[in-house]
Amino acid sequence: MPKWSILTWIVITMSVLQVSGQRDTLISYSLDSVLISAGRLETPYMSLPASATTVDLRKSINFISHTDLSEAVKDVPGLFTLNGQNYAQDLRISLRGFGARSAFGIRGIKLVVDGIPETTPDGQGQLDNISVSDIALIEVLHGTSGAQYGNAAGGVIEISTLDIPPNNASTASIRVGSYGLQQYRLGTAQHLGKSILQISGNHHRSSGYRNQSGLVQTNILTRLTHQWGTSNLVWQASYLNSPKAEDPGGINLADATANTESARDRNISFNAGEEITHWKSSLSFKSNFSNTLSLVTNAFYSGRAFDGRLPFSNGGAIDLDRKYGGVMSQLNYLNTGTHSVHKMSIGIEVLSQRDNRDRYVNNDGTRGVLTLSQLEKFDNFGFYFIDQWSNNLWTVRGSLRYDDNKIGVDDNFLIDGDDSGDRKLSNFNYSAAVNYRISDRNAAFINYSTSFETPALSELSSNPDGGGGFNNLLEPMKARTIEVGARGGSNEEIRYSISLFRIRSEDELIPFELNDFPGRTFFRNAGSTKRTGVEAGLTYAGIKKIELQSSYAYSNFKFDEYNVDGQDLANNPIPGIPQHALSTSLSYLSNRLTFKLSSQYFSRITVKDAGDVSVDPYHIVNFRAGTELQSGRVVYTPFVAINNLFSTAYFDNLRLNAFGGRFYEPAATINWQMGLSVVF
């Protein structure tokens, strides 16, 4: 770690500790008051036998960047993001290394939004259809969670949107910034007797920092909540229209050094990018039959139309029509005794996904003749059981889940033969965990858990031989985690969390490129990997109106058994993940004024399985400021943000194992945003 990075962190920390005063009530809360619902059973944070982090955006939403979710989750230890500035590829999130392989979107991490899975049954996830402006709360469950969530649950991110105000309220906001950034939002919440109607609309456009990196996007979210007696019914619908999301591509180091704004020439000539329309509708029903029994049932259906252009000719134009949906039901039992609480849940999930995938020749951005046409299918049936018992000192939890996954492809392009086929991938996962309350303010836990991850349909359809059908050489990845940790504080002014974990995985899915298909990503299995890590977080709020937050992650992630073309890659680091990541922020919080100075440091990151190419460590600093003014019932919040305050040269995205040294996507230099939010 460079000396100046350490010095910056020490200066920020000491500047807080040297100031005296009383703690402001704005940042006062009890750890026992925080409830974690990720993990299927709502549990007080101090009793949870697992590592979890909550991010409450309801107070800070006006002061963070709305272009992607990366700033909101930057203080979550062990969670690493890339690709926030390439809108065609979506944010890449890795949690304890799960998801680092993703060429686009999110893999290996289960995304749940308002109780509905945002991750498709095959393990793909996107966040482009969710506006950051609509997010109220984020819960991150660290560690393998296949026993609760099934496929692609190396970790869980549960998002709650559209916080319900106590009275009728409407909001309007505008945000402008560097590189032609324009963001507009209108929203309203209306109480209609026993019903609440909420509508939000967001429009976002930008020319992007690099050439060929523009975006135009509109999101609409509608929710109707109805309460009668002990039952609750929620209907929700979302819509995304993104007619423009350009992809500047990865470039080599010489080009990245010469001009950080440049795009790859082939991405420009082939007009690389995508156009997306996405919609989802869901219905959620919860009923309390008695003091001991309740039922939660969710049903949803979603569609995604994707028109993509990749920077090569044969098969470089993609037309994807996706439909997926499902029904999930969970029966909950609660028995509250004199000295203990017993909770049980039994759940069933039935999920289905259909991808109609067509590939065409990309004639310099124009669709040519058809080269592939197939219907890809993924059906899942899951059954799980969770049992938890707790008293004043102990919490004991056990989980078991069975998943039956059926994968198939119907080849409709028969000129080169019939590549249709089916596979069945079934799996049991389990977990066991114990939490012990050391004192009123401190607790320790230990858990053991497993997970599995099937290749996504888009990964299976990327055949290195250039043919249709699936790459049947790809196998699911399986992982086992053991974790110990502690959390709490000496008082409510100091809060800490720390966890140590070890993960062993088999058949890790790894991306790579080939000379014959420049710009197209394929996948293969590594024999096994081993991951040892430490995650720690500290919050100090013992000074009037001042809060210091710091998080650190140590990630020693390596291949254990891995041989490629006769080359033994054992003990090489898994690419795409820094071994050291440190995030620190210093905030001044009051009822009227907010300042926030945040710092992030990342150590060297390898970009090839061979471990012979890496990017240097980097350190970035951001600044946020805002104030709150009230006139009658109307609240005005002007705000300003400066990103990359010292114009640090670093890479927003790294394309792992890219052919021709095209690993690099340069990040923006110093840039700004400013705006105004009005609540009335």
What pLDDT, in 10s, does the model give residues 383-430?
A: 999 999 999 999 999 999 999 999 999 999 998 889 999 999 999 999
The pLDDT value recorded for residue 53 is 94
Cα separation of 347 and 36, whole Å? 18
Residue 252 structure tokens? 């080599």
CB atoms closer than 10 angstroms to residue 650: 20
Cα separation of 79 and 139, whole Å? 12
pLDDT grade for 8, boundaries at 50, 70 and 90: very low
2.40.50.140, 3.30.70.1150, 3.40.50.300, 2.40.170.20: which CATH number matches 32-679?
A: 2.40.170.20
* Residue reference for tokens 């003990």: 571
Cα separation of 141 and 124, whole Å? 18
Please, which residues have CB within 8 angstroms of residue 553's CB and are 6 or more apart in sequence?
Answer: 77, 78, 80, 533, 534, 535, 536, 580, 581
Of the CA atoms within 13 Å of residue 57, those in its CB half-sphere come to 27
Beta bridge partners of 612: none
The pLDDT value recorded for residue 4 is 42
Q: Does 17 have pLDDT greater than 80?
A: no
* Residue reference for tokens 């927003």: 652
Beta bridge partners of 667: none
Q: Mean per-residue pLDDT for 606-631?
A: 94
First to last CA, the chain: 48
More confident residue, 39 or 261: 261
Q: Does 526 have pLDDT greater than 90?
A: no
CA 185 to chain CA centroid, nearest Å: 23
Q: What is the pLDDT of residues 121-151, one digit of tens each?
A: 999 998 888 898 899 999 999 999 999 999 9
pLDDT grade for 612, boundaries at 50, 70 and 90: very high
- Residue 594 has phi, psi (to 5 degrees) of -135, 130
The pLDDT value recorded for residue 61 is 54
Q: Are strands 651-654 and 593-602 parallel, antiparallel or unpaired?
A: unpaired
The pLDDT value recorded for residue 59 is 67
* Residue reference for tokens 């060429």: 103
Q: What is the pLDDT of residues 299-319, one digit of tens each?
A: 999 999 999 999 999 899 999
Q: Does 675 have pLDDT greater than 50?
A: yes
Secondary structure class of 6 (helix, strand, coil): helix
CB atoms closer than 10 angstroms to residue 508: 27
Residue 225 structure tokens? 């909540």
pLDDT grade for 673, boundaries at 50, 70 and 90: very high
Q: What is the DSSP letter of 98?
A: B
Please, which residues have CB within 8 angstroms of residue 568's CB and are 6 or more apart in sequence?
Answer: 562
- Per domain, the residue ranges of the chain are 32-679
Please, which residues have CB within 8 angstroms of residue 573's CB and are 6 or more apart in sequence?
Answer: 557, 558, 559, 579, 606, 611
Q: Mean per-residue pLDDT for 104-113?
A: 91
The DSSP annotation for 413-451 comes to: --TT----EEEEEEEEEEEEEEEEESSSSEEEEEEEEEE
Cα separation of 67 and 248, whole Å? 17
The pLDDT value recorded for residue 21 is 32
- On average, the pLDDT of the chain sits at 90
Q: Does 25 have pLDDT greater than 80?
A: no
CA 74 to chain CA centroid, nearest Å: 11
